[in-house]
Amino acid sequence: MIPRFLQDQQGGRRRLSDAGPALVLVGGGLDDGSESVPLGEKLAATEFAVVNYRRRGRGDSGDTAPYAVEREIEDLAAVIEAAGGRAHLFGASSGGALALEAAAAGLPIDRIAVHEVPYLVGDPMVRSWQQYVADVTAALDAGDRDQALRLFMRLAGSSDEDIAGAAAAPVWPALLELAPTLRYDAACLGDGPPPADRLAMIAQPVLLSTGSTVDPHSAGLPVDFFGAAADAAAASLPHAQRLVMEVAGHVADPALLAPRLAEFYRA
C-alpha cells in the first residue's frame, strides 16, 4: 500500500511547503486529508515543511486487506521517510491516536501534537464505545454504509435532526465512500480508554489540545468529553503538555491553533 500525498492547488507538489522542519498531518475519521489543508497552509506559512497525506482506504490511497493498525503505522513510516527521515506529527481526532501509536512503536518522530483524541473515560462511555464497535462492524459486514455513518454520528453526539440533515446533504455520498474506514479509526482507538502502557513508552514531548467545551454538532456528548480524554492520556505520557482552546471545535480553528503548534514544535 502506498499512501498518497495531497497536492496543493497548483498541483504536482507533495508538500504544502518545502522549507523548514518536516511536519506530517494525520487526519481523523471520515477525512480524506482535505480537512487538514487549512491548518497545513497556516503552518507552512510559519516555515514548516508540511506534508499532508491520505490514510489508507481514503481517496486515491490503496487499501490492502486484512487491515491492522500496524499497517497504518507502516504507511506513516513511509510518509516520514519521504519527508526526509524524521518529522514532527500533528494528529486530529482518531488520527491523534494513530500518531501516538506510531510514536510508541518507535518511528523517527520529534514532537507530537494531537487535537481532541476521542479516548473513552468512565465505564458508561467505554460500554457505549464497545457497543458502537460491534454495531458498526456488523453494519459494514452487511454492506450497510448508511447505517454505519448514522451509528458514528450518534456516537459523536449528533442529534437525530443533525443526522437527518447530513444524510440529505450533498456531502453524504462522499461520506459513504469513506464509511469502511470507520473500522480503521475504531482499531486505532482500541478498547476505548487511553492505552496507558503504550503511552508511557513515548519519550517525545506531546501537546494535547482541546476546545473549552464540545462542538455544537456534538451536543450529545458530555461538555468535558474531550478534556477528560486528554487529561487521562496526559497522565500516562512522560512529557505531556495540555492546551485548552477558548473556542470549541473538533476541527480546530487553524488561525488559533497554528501559532500555538508552531511555538510547541520550535521549543
pLDDT in tens, 38-96: 999 999 998 899 999 999 999 989 998 899 999 999 999 999 999 999 999 999 999 99
Report whether pLDDT(12) > 60.
no
Residues 98 and 45 in one domain: yes
Could you give the CA distance from residue 71 to residue 3 in angstroms, rounded to a whole number? 11
pLDDT, residue 216, reads 85
Please state the φ and ψ torsions of residue 94, each to the nearest 5 degrees.
-65, -25
The CATH number covering residue 224 comes to 3.40.50.1820
The residues that bridge with 24 in the sheet, in sequence order, are: 51, 89
Report whether pLDDT(13) > 60.
no
Domain C-terminal end among 184, 199, 226 = 184
pLDDT, residue 117, reads 98
Residues 195 and 158 in one domain: no
pLDDT, residue 215, reads 85
Residues 191 and 239 in one domain: yes
CB atoms within 10 A of CB 255: 11
pLDDT, residue 223, reads 92
**Digit-coded pLDDT (tens) for 185-194:** 999 999 999 9
pLDDT, residue 14, reads 44
pLDDT, residue 8, reads 36
Q: What average pLDDT does the chain have?
A: 92
Could you give the CA distance from residue 243 to residue 15 in angstroms, rounded to a whole number? 27
Residues 69 and 37 in one domain: yes
For the ranges 5-19, 81-95, 173-187, 249-263, the lowest mean pLDDT is seen at: 5-19
Could you give the CA distance from residue 183 to residue 11 in angstroms, rounded to a whole number? 31
Where do runs of H (alpha helix) occur along the chain? Answer: 37-44, 69-82, 94-104, 123-141, 145-155, 160-167, 172-178, 182-189, 196-199, 225-236, 254-266
Percent of the chain with pLDDT over 90: 86
Q: Count up the domains in the chain and report the number.
A: 2
Domain C-terminal end among 169, 184, 199 = 184
Domain C-terminal end among 184, 203, 219 = 184
pLDDT, residue 247, reads 82
Report whether pLDDT(4) > 90.
no
Residues 192 and 154 in one domain: no
Report whether pLDDT(176) > 60.
yes
Could you give the CA distance from residue 202 to residue 198 in angstroms, rounded to a whole number? 7
pLDDT, residue 74, reads 96
Residues 229 and 243 in one domain: yes
Q: 30: alpha, beta or left, given left = phi > 0 and alpha = psi -120 to 50?
A: left
Residues 80 and 151 in one domain: no
- Cell numbers standing for residue 209: 489540545
Residues 170 and 40 in one domain: no
Please state the φ and ψ torsions of residue 243, each to the nearest 5 degrees.
-135, 120
**Digit-coded pLDDT (tens) for 16-25:** 556 789 999 9
Residues 86 and 196 in one domain: yes
Residues 14 and 32 in one domain: yes
Residues 24 and 115 in one domain: yes
Residues 71 and 201 in one domain: yes
pLDDT, residue 94, reads 98
Per the structure, the complete domain to which residue 26 belongs is given by: 4-121+185-266
